[in-house]
Structure 1
Amino acid sequence: MTLEISHSFPPDIIREILLKVSTVKSLLRCKSVCKEWYTLISDQHFIKSHYTLSTTNNINYAHHRLIYKQDNDLISCPLYDVLFHNSANHTLLLEIPFQQTRGFRIIGSCNGLMCLFGVDDNTLFIYNPSTRATNILPPSKQGADWYVFSGFGYDETTHDYKVVKLWRCWPYWGTVIYSLKAGSWKEIGRFPLVKLFNDGKFLNGALHWETGDYYMWHIVSLDLGKETYGEVLPPEYDVEVDMMSHLGVLGESLCVLYNYIKSHVVDVWVMKVYGVKDSWTKLASIPDIWWDRDLILDPLCISKDGKVLLRLGPQLLVYDSKNSSSTIIDNFNRCHQACIVVESLVSPFPPLGLADINDDENQGFDDDHDANGIVSFKNPLKKESAGEKL
């Protein structure tokens, strides 16, 4: 029957049909049908096209999953159910790639891949929850026995996934970067500021960390292509003693939440044009939110019709900007971390699945820093031997 199908339809038609297969799980099954289908579905151009369709043809968010940490479990559910039915239906317990007695952290997600940090042995993993493929990263000599913050993102200039680790070496933070393509760590010097609050948020080819305090705080960026630090200027805000800021990403925009604890209001700001300070726009002021100052706020996503999904400590909230209403999602009383993942066939191992094979992967970089309003930091400790393995 398979041979009949392969001979009845031109290869281009078969490719278009397979690209529209509903889930990655179904595509993985299709790889077992015949050698031709296995080769096609494993092809890097097919993987890239499938991911592009999954992210753009998302009227019902069919390929989007909300993945969250509950105790020491990793759970997945359809994003559509959360945004439009205000509940977590059809949850799936994921098989995490390690056993941890002291738990793990979700560092971030990108192109269908997740980066996880195992607390027991300071181990970093790149994990595709759709294919269950796992890449356990080798340890770095720097920061092996110290508490670390991390970040995970994709460098489009070299078609490379990179993991950044910041470790405390008093009075500053050191920085090492792991390249999945090179398969090695390298050191790039110190983090430019002293106080650090969160793992890096990935957007526009850079990772972003929040640092400082409510009187004077900064958004530090790390360009993954140039591997240089900069600063993105935050929106203006009313300084209050009982005010906390929280950095995140909403859609294609950098996002800041200002939590005014006394007035029980959260202001949601988004940066319409990356790197342009004047483009910060207040998206919403969410009233009547009751929590204490230690509760973590995390912006997760925004739908095309203006629904904003936020994590409020162990709970999830959907704010509808059209009618200014808020709804707490059912079944999320123990949500410790969360992220949005688009199902993909992207492998956590080289060759990396979103590269354009015809591109020149050895292109050079412009020595000047980003001109879109990004302020450069000087890095006096950058080492000459930055390319060697640590």
Structure 2
Amino acid sequence: MSGLSNSIPDEICEEILERLPVKSLVRFKATCKPWKSLISDPSFVDHHLNRSAARCRKLAIFFEDIGKTENSSNSRSVVHLLDLGYPAKEAKWRRSLNSVVNFFGQNFVVYDICKMVNTVWTRINRIANSEKPTVMEFPSSVPSCIFFRCCTFRGLMMVGSDSADTEFSLCNPSTRQSWNIPNPPNCKFLDAAALGYDFIVKTHKVVIIRQIYFAHSQYEIAVYNVKTSSWTTFTVDIKDDDPTLDFWTYSLTLANGAPHWMTNSISPRIYQIACFDFTENELIRFPIPDTNNDYETYDPHLFEMEERLCIAFFRFCVPFFPFFPYHKVEIWVMMEHGVGESWTRLALSRDQIPAGFDFHRPISFAKDGMVSLVREADSIAIYIGNKKRIEIKSRIHYCLFRMLASPYVESLVSI
């Protein structure tokens, strides 16, 4: 680092660079050889990633863009990166019907996103964010069909589909790099797949889980190590009296680097959470909170809050006239990971969210009062607690299939 500056110590220069966005750092790599060497150093990449994770304010939105592109008349799989730290210039509404939620001692309001989006359709089309969203097309190996196997963690994003002939891809939207992952041996069908992180060996990993159909009581698990570019395959036994791995829902979230899925049996309808621990190569299962079967309209939804696993239960309720329909919601936090007795219900001063014909759900929560909400299937909004206002950040056009969204941390991570 010597020679970078005659007046600023090298340690201060490094401290400043760690706070800059990836877009600036990519440009600075061309400034001089010492800066290129520093910014490419794995230690610097880790420090920058940790800072980015601490102030994460971005959402990755996966969707299908139906219509002609520059090179093709077919649809394409793309991702929008929205920076929630930059307020939109328009679309600020005062609260009307709302639900006041106390989250770790701080009150915030959940808005009727559906009603606002439907009411201000034309105005939303003119919204211009102060920072233009990043749009990235996925590699050509990802088919232009609905894709469910999407997740992000520590700067990397994994995308794929349910097609057995399709390779999964890893990409870094911040640097616009992408890599294909070879399929594991004998993988024709899969029940679940996810990206995660092994904090012991400090590398991203991918897990693919499939049931062995001629042996109903076994699952085959394949783990891909990004650092060594190799697969490890093994089988796990399922207890005969545990039917909850019969059906894997698409409610996927990552907490502490481990992917979590909501699983359930078809009949009787019993839910469990399945978690894969990359450090031990172990499939772990634990129960969901006991809600006395009061929430049966929708499947429970998983998300994470500052590395803690959360679960949301919903039920659509239609009261007698003249009252409006509403969603009854209940949110729980697992205070100690893997311990069913540690589920803690958030204190709700009013547990009804006004509902339109569409359904909206939370993506993530933060203790500073910023809440990310997604309306299925075409709008993203946030509630800023300290300013007590809602901002509709994006509307996705021509999205005929389900839209997926998750928090995203930008990074310099490469493979």
**What band does the TM-score fall into relative to the shorter chain?**
0.7 to 0.9
Q: Which one-letter code corresponds to 2:189 in the other structure?
A: W
Q: Distance in 1 between matches of 2:7 and 2:254?
A: 45
Q: Distance in 1 between matches of 2:189 and 2:269?
A: 28
Q: Which one-letter code corresponds to 1:183 in the other structure?
A: S
Written as runs of structure 1 = structure 2, the 5 A alignment for 1:1-390 is 5-21=4-20, 23-56=21-54, 58=55, 64-71=57-64, 72-81=77-86, 89=129, 90-98=132-140, 100-118=143-161, 121-143=165-187, 145-170=188-213, 171=216, 173-190=219-236, 192=238, 193-198=245-250, 200-213=252-265, 215-240=269-294, 241-262=296-317, 264-283=327-346, 284=348, 285-291=351-357, 299-314=362-377, 315-316=379-380, 318=382, 331-332=395-396, 334=399, 336-347=403-414, 349=415
- What SS does structure 2 have at the residue aligned with 1:231? strand
Q: Distance in 1 between matches of 2:177 and 2:15?
A: 25
- What SS does structure 2 have at the residue aligned with 1:226? coil
Asked whether the 8 Å contact 1:215–1:239 carries over to 2, the reply is no
Q: Which one-letter code corresponds to 2:147 in the other structure?
A: F
- What SS does structure 2 have at the residue aligned with 1:54? helix
Deviations 1:287-336 (A, max 9, x none): 223457xx6x7642212333332334214454678999987665256461
Q: Distance in 2 between matches of 1:185 and 1:239?
A: 41
How far off its partner does 1:217 sit?
0.9
- What SS does structure 2 have at the residue aligned with 1:14? helix
How far off its partner does 1:265 sit?
1.4
What residue number does 1:386 align with? none
Q: Distance in 1 between matches of 2:356 and 2:211?
A: 34
Asked whether the 8 Å contact 2:63–2:403 carries over to 1, the reply is yes
Bigger CA drift: 178-187 or 103-112? 103-112
- What SS does structure 2 have at the residue aligned with 1:80? coil
Q: Which one-letter code corresponds to 1:133 in the other structure?
A: Q
| CA gap 1:83/1:197 in 2 versus in 1, 3 angstroms | farther
- What SS does structure 2 have at the residue aligned with 1:273? coil
Deviations 1:210-265 (A, max 9, x none): 11158421111221100112223321113145353122223321111111123521
How far off its partner does 1:101 sit?
2.8
Q: Distance in 2 between matches of 1:286 and 1:326?
A: 18
Bigger CA drift: 223-232 or 94-103? 94-103
**TM-score of the aligned structures, taking structure 2 as reference length:** 0.71
What residue number does 1:372 align with? none
Asked whether the 8 Å contact 2:82–2:393 carries over to 1, the reply is no
Q: Distance in 2 between matches of 1:299 and 1:88?
A: 23
| CA gap 1:239/1:82 in 2 versus in 1, 3 angstroms | farther
Query: In angstroms, what is the RMSD of aligned CA positions?
Result: 3.2
- What SS does structure 1 have at the residue aligned with 2:184? coil
**TM-score of the aligned structures, taking structure 1 as reference length:** 0.75
Unaligned residue ranges in structure 1 (runs of 5+): 350-390
Q: Which one-letter code corresponds to 1:343 in the other structure?
A: E
- What SS does structure 2 have at the residue aligned with 1:41? helix
